[in-house]
Amino acid sequence: MPTIAITDYTFPDLSLEQALLRPAGIGIVSFKEKRSPAELAELVRDADAVIAQFAPVNAEVVNAMTKARAIVRYGIGYDNVDIAVARERGIPV
């Protein structure tokens, strides 16, 4: 089953994401609040895509991704994502 990792979010729950993704056979793994880069790296390791709000998706986190085909940012901008490393890895942001 494809999996999306959600690094953090500030809204009450993931009911909208669950309503959209589960019927499509896509699983969700998530943290409610920001965590350390090591914890984030473990969360995203086997995810097919990553969604981040404010959590730093730095080089350690991007390099831990073994299957990710996209990094998506909730909100405006992407200054919390290491674009250079994502580009080197061929992961669109």
Residues 6+ apart with CB under 8 A from 27: 1, 2, 3, 4, 21
Phi, psi of 28 (to 5 degrees): -125, 135
Q: pLDDT per residue over 26-79, tens digit each?
A: 999 999 887 899 999 999 999 999 999 999 999 999 999 999 999 999 999 999
Higher pLDDT, 12 or 34: 12
Answer yes or no: pTM beyond 0.85.
yes
Pick 80 or 32 by higher pLDDT.
80
| Spatial distance between the Cα atoms of 64 and 68, rounded to a whole number of angstroms | 10
pLDDT on residue 33 = 83
Report the run of H or E that residue 60 belongs to, with start and end: helix 59-64
pLDDT in the model for residue 35: 87
Establish how many alpha carbons lie within 13 A of residue 30's alpha carbon, considering only the half-sphere containing its beta carbon.
18
Domains of the chain with bracketed CATH: 3-89 (3.40.50.720)
CB atoms within 10 A of CB 29: 15
The residue among 59, 66, 61 whose CA lies nearest residue 31 is 61
